[in-house]
Amino acid sequence: MAALRSAFHLDLGESEAVLVAEALGNAPVPLDERRGVRCARSRGLVVIRTPLIYADAKILGLIGSVQEKLDELRSHGFRLSTRHYERILEGLGEL
């Protein structure tokens, strides 16, 4: 784990998530931080980001608005470009 953390400058949680995903037979791994995403993808893992989790939750009827969730995240410093934000919301019929 130390080598993985050092090579990609990951925090403990990110490195553990990558290693657990690998141990589970390359299971999808939920990550948002750029370094963690880069590391996971370089190791052949599928990365699931928070906006996709929200989109799936809306499709399944578990939440009413992805826009509210993304706006809340962004208000707390979550980085999501305006282009990606709008693309997500347009795809879900929220824009």
Residue-wise pLDDT for 46-74, tens only, equals 999 999 999 999 999 999 999 999 999 99
Q: What share of the chain is helix, strand, coil (3-state, %, to 5)?
A: 60, 5, 35
Side chain identity at residue 91, one-letter code: G
Whether residue 43 is predicted with pLDDT greater than 90 in this model: the reply is: yes
pTM score of the predicted model: 0.82
Whether residue 2 is predicted with pLDDT greater than 90 in this model: the reply is: no
Whether residue 6 is predicted with pLDDT greater than 90 in this model: the reply is: no
